[in-house]
Amino acid sequence: MAASFASLPTFSFVNSSRFPRRRIDSYSSRKPLEVRCCSGNIRDNKQRGTFSSLKECAISLALSVGLIASVPSMVSPPNAYAVASPAIPDVSVLISGPPIKDPGALLRYALPIENKAIREVQKPLEDITDSLKIAGVKALDSVERNVRQANRSLQQGKSMIVAGFAESKKDHGNELIEKLEAGMQDMLQIVEDRKRDAVVSKQKEILQYVGEIEEDMVDGFPYEVPEEYRNMPLLKGRATVDMKVKIKDNPNLEDCVFRIVLDGYNAPVTAGNFVDLVERHFYDGMEIQRSDGFVVQTGDPEGPAEGFIDPSTEKMRTIPLEIMVTGKKTPFYGSTLEELGLYKAQVMLPFNAFGTMAMAREEFENDSGSSQVFWLLKESELTPSNSNILDGRYAVFGYVTQNEDFLADLKVGDVIESIQVVSGLDNLANPSYKIAG
């Protein structure tokens, strides 16, 4: 069994029927954790893993976030250190815009490109989702307007889009534009035939073309990783993995394959570490170790170590906290955005999609991530992307893009049969799994 991480503070949650009581904490495999609610109930949690607590949050600000973001309000733990500045962005940031909850959209906007023309094609196609909230076939009139707007933007901005392709990817990019044009014509035919049920699958298809067009605008890896991390496994681009989980005691679901897109453009060290462990088959046969309605977590190996022991060094491999902020060319390493005083900074990979994947770590050691990972079982209806109170505190490095809804069905003891890289392995630099020993 794994050794415990840091000793844990006890939290008191605001006892309100309006908000679910969910823990944001790290926890131990050796000691039961007492979670004390205001009503005085105490329960033990013996699941393994680590998930660091928020260190401080004034009650008034926490309640504001709870009202806006639908997250549980908290009282500061008694042993948390105090800071003069607020631990969360101010409310004006929280209400500055609508949330982006779709993992595909978050991944598209996270690409290191600046091409306004393709973004003007992307947006109305994504807005089809909102158009479909209209009841019945009346929604199709709005869908038609979305598609025609996207098509106009494509025709008007095609030269700018083509000019944005990396030189080595221009041929492929032009092929994708043709597929996108054909796909939008197919969508207009679907609208004309009044086949509402066919809209979602076609929307997903054409947005896939948009995403691939945008990826063809990225010319190599855009920056140098700091020297102290340069020899670690690095994902210089993106990779896709399939995680197959054997599900116990569920008559409706025996096993499920979750597709996960890992983003090395914004988290090369964190994503590279994970891909390297996947290629070592580190997670194959491992159980789900936490599932509490808030997160699903795994990655704590058998034995005394809390993370991956590199056989070449016989020491636990740890990685730094890694956060990419909008407008910056390289990630911040080793510090939370709170510690850096960047309370209004916008992260490139926000905790806003159900199935957001991030690296767990010790409570007070930012650079203690190793192999334990978690998926967030939450999406915000009101909080704008980049304003979740977890943003800037944990290293997000990917999103579940297929079957993410089934994450909520996973239970402690369900087994990860395998995780396999299905694309992007060639983007992994310094793969340690190839080193004997």
∠ at Cα 315 (314, 316), nearest 5°? 130
Q: What's the whole-model pTM score?
A: 0.79
One-letter amino acid of 5 = F
Give the per-residue pLDDT at 384. 55
Q: Which CATH number fits domain 227-429: 2.40.100.10, 3.30.450.40, 1.10.760.10, 3.50.50.60?
A: 2.40.100.10
pLDDT in tens, 307-327: 999 999 999 999 999 999 999
Give the per-residue pLDDT at 103. 95
Same fold, 103-217 and 227-429: no
Pairing mode, if any, of strands 290-291 and 309-310?
unpaired
Quick one: three-class SS letters along the chain?
CCCCCCCCCCCEECCCCCCCCCCCCCCCCCCCEEEEECCCCEEEECCCCCCCCCCCCCHHHHHHHHHHHCCCCECCCCCCCCCCCCCCCCHHHHCCCCCCCCHHHHHHHCCCCCCHHHHHHHHHHHCHHHHCCCCHHHHHHHHHHHHHHHHHHHHHHHHHHHHCCCHHHHHHHHHHHHHHHHHHHHHHHHHHCCCHHHHHHHHHHHHHHHHHHHHCCCCCCCCCCCHHHCCCCEECCEEEEEEEEECCCCCCCCEEEEEEEEECCCCHHHHHHHHHHHHCCCCCCCECCEECCCEEEECCCCCCCCCCEECCCCEECCECCEECECCCCCCEECCCHHHHCCCCCCECCCCCCCCEEEECCCCCCCCCECCCEEEECCCCCCCCCCCCCCCCCCCEEEEEEECHHHHHHCCCCCEEEEEEEEECHHHEECCHHHCCC
Residue 46 has a CB neighbour count (10 Å cut-off) of: 12
pLDDT in tens, 287-299: 999 999 999 999 9
Q: Which residues of the chain have pLDDT under 70?
A: 1-99, 380-388, 436-437
Half-sphere exposure of 227 (CA within 13 A, CB side): 0
pLDDT in tens, 111-124: 999 999 999 999 99
Q: CATH top-level class for 103-217?
A: mainly alpha
Give the per-residue pLDDT at 344. 87
In whole angstroms, give the CA distance from residue 379 to residue 264.
Answer: 23
Give the per-residue pLDDT at 55. 35
Domain chopping of the chain, boundaries: 103-217, 227-429
Q: How many percent of the chain have pLDDT more than 70?
A: 75
